[in-house]
Amino acid sequence: MHAWETFLKVSGWDSEYQSVAKVLRYYKQKMQSEGTKANVCQILKSFCVFAGKSPDEAIGLGAEEASRLVQDYVDLLADKDFSIRYVNASLAFLKTFFMVNGFRDSNSLQVERHYQPPRYRKVGEYIPTSAEIYDMSLASGSARNKALILTLYTSGLRNSTLRALLYRDVVDEIERDMKIVKLPVYPDMKKIDDGACKGNIPYFSFMSVEATEAVRDYFAERNKPILGEELMFASESTNVPADVGRRTPVMKKSLEAMVKRAARKAGLKRWQDVHPHVLRKAFEYALRNAGLDPKDQEFLMGHILPGTQDAYYDKTKVENLRAKYAKVNFFLERKGFTEDARRKQILDTAKILGYPDDRIKKIEEALAKYERVDEALEHIKKLEVDSYKEQNAQELQRKTPHNSKKQFRIIQGAETLVRFMNDGWDLVKELTDDKFVMQKSFDEPISHLNA
């Protein structure tokens, strides 16, 4: 349960506070968006704490006093360096709350908005090239992370939507060995994440051949048979039982941190400005660059078509749209690679991933030994498997005579989260107010612990 649900006594789209019940009823009639409900309630809770009043007490104020409190509140948000967009959105939600509770016409709130220049964006944004996105996937650190990045980019799904996908949503086409797999988006996803199906608009997208291959590799790596109700991309947290983790969505902040870390390891100069949403923008560019019909493009983005176009757009011809999607080249720079170019890219990738010199030397030897790169890759894969087994055996032997100690820290801020995760810390829990519980394990010899 969210903190705002307890504070505002909210259950579903109702509340024990009459004033809150009215504003929830208003938004339910307008859009029935769980994400909007959460945003409104979080801001209303924050305002009530600031004002020192319950929601019903707040609407008992006169228009002048209520206006002063709301103005002071939004000014405080601006002073705390929240984005102007967030400040003005908070003001709009609060004005709606007071409006539905009788503050209208001459009794309406008199509060000044903060100036927002055209194309204003507080957070930096860098949209990577397709080659940079591919390098990010290789530098992401695991089969799951590689599949996440490639699926984010080639499907254009929103962060919350991707994290709410279930295994049963894709298993049929995965088992049929489809090269381009359909990804359905539907309102029931909101049970996993409030923002998973924006505006309750059902639609579907696809993931490319490269993403599908990465997803198959990830599924093969999961230890037990995957059940239909398990998430397509499960949490990798070691702090919950495995069966719970397989049904626990990747946290929004965790996905954000993973994408940034992959961008940094891939050598992107503006890695701090790379967010999951910029991969959706890269997807939109790839569709446009391929000359896709604007209606098809808008549908794959999950947008409502303007005017009467949406009602007449044929959403049933999945295979027709799949064929159009198949013509989109998401990795233009990789098309028509020569064998020599592929050899160079494999070596560059090994360096991006930080392979030690001895492993890079083995890769160079394999590439020189085989005429075809695919044969060299099979040999390299066998070397990697053998190396992995040897490292596991050594790690087990190293840890056997040791005891493990865990250190916990509470940190604040997304950038601090990225720095800690880069230093080997694991995210245990996301707290409120942008705070996180982190954990790191340290091994100490038994003799030292007994001393």
- Burial readout 208-242 (b: 16 or more C-beta within 10 A, e: otherwise): bbbbbebbeebbeeeeeebeeebbbbbbebeeeee
Based on the fold, state whether residues 156 and 291 are members of the same structural domain: yes
Beta bridge partners of 11: 14
Would you call 410 helix, strand, or coil by DSSP? Answer: strand
Specify the long-range contacts of residues 217-223, CB closer than 8 Å, at least 24 apart. 217/143, 217/146, 217/147, 218/143, 218/144, 218/146, 218/147, 219/174, 221/143, 221/144, 222/246
Based on the fold, state whether residues 152 and 222 are members of the same structural domain: yes
Based on the fold, state whether residues 349 and 323 are members of the same structural domain: no
* Gyration radius of the chain over CA positions: 25
The CATH number assigned to the domain holding 235 equals 1.10.443.10
Q: Is residue 212's pLDDT more than 60? A: yes
119, part of any domain: no
112, part of any domain: no
Based on the fold, state whether residues 278 and 234 are members of the same structural domain: yes
Tens digits of per-residue pLDDT, 4-37? Answer: 999 999 999 999 999 999 999 999 988 778 888 9
Of 72, 107, 142, the domain-final residue: 107
Based on the fold, state whether residues 256 and 390 are members of the same structural domain: no
* pLDDT-based confidence at residue 291 (cuts at 50, 70, 90): confident
113, part of any domain: no
Based on the fold, state whether residues 316 and 348 are members of the same structural domain: no
Q: From the CB of residue 411, how many other CB atoms can be counted at a distance below 10 Å?
A: 17
| Burial (Cβ within 10 Å: 0-12, 13-18, ≥19) of residue 408 | exposed
CA distance 204 to 224: 28
Based on the fold, state whether residues 149 and 217 are members of the same structural domain: yes
Residue type for position 236: E
CA distance 146 to 444: 33
Based on the fold, state whether residues 188 and 303 are members of the same structural domain: yes
Beta bridge partners of 243: none
125, part of any domain: no
263, part of any domain: yes
Mean pLDDT of 271-286: 93
124, part of any domain: no
Tens digits of per-residue pLDDT, 295-317? Answer: 999 999 988 877 777 777 777 88
Give pLDDT, residue 449: 33
Q: Of the spans 158-167, 194-203, 352-361, which averages the highest pLDDT?
A: 158-167
- Taking Cα atoms as reference points, which of 448, 71, 122, 434 lies closest to residue 273? 122
Based on the fold, state whether residues 188 and 325 are members of the same structural domain: yes
Mean pLDDT of 335-361: 71
Q: Is residue 330's pLDDT more than 70? A: yes
- Domain count for the chain, please give it: 4
Count Cα neighbours of 173 within 13 Å in the Cβ-side half-sphere: 19
Contact 284, 301 (CB under 8 A): yes
CA distance 72 to 75: 5
Backbone angles phi, psi at 324, to 5 degrees: -65, -40
Based on the fold, state whether residues 25 and 80 are members of the same structural domain: yes
CA geometry: angle 138, 141, 143, nearest 5 deg: 75
328, part of any domain: yes
CA distance 351 to 206: 31
Tens digits of per-residue pLDDT, 31-72? Answer: 778 888 999 999 999 999 999 999 999 999 999 999 999 999
Q: Is residue 209's pLDDT more than 90? A: yes
* Structure tokens belonging to residue 20: 């809150």
Based on the fold, state whether residues 160 and 215 are members of the same structural domain: yes
Q: Is residue 335's pLDDT more than 70? A: no
392, part of any domain: yes
Contact 279, 129 (CB under 8 A): no
Based on the fold, state whether residues 94 and 163 are members of the same structural domain: no
Of 362, 378, 398, the domain-final residue: 398
Q: List C-alpha distances in Å: 251 to 15, 190, 392, 412, 445.
A: 28, 15, 28, 16, 34
Domain that holds residue 377: 339-398
Of 377, 398, 419, the domain-final residue: 398
| Burial (Cβ within 10 Å: 0-12, 13-18, ≥19) of residue 248 | middle
* Structure tokens belonging to residue 234: 């499960």
pTM for the whole structure: 0.62
**How much is the mean pLDDT over the chain?**
84
Contacts of 14 (CB under 8 A, 6+ apart): 21, 24
98 or 242: whose pLDDT is higher? Answer: 98
Contacts of 279 (CB under 8 A, 6+ apart): 128, 133, 149, 152, 153, 259
CA distance 448 to 451: 5
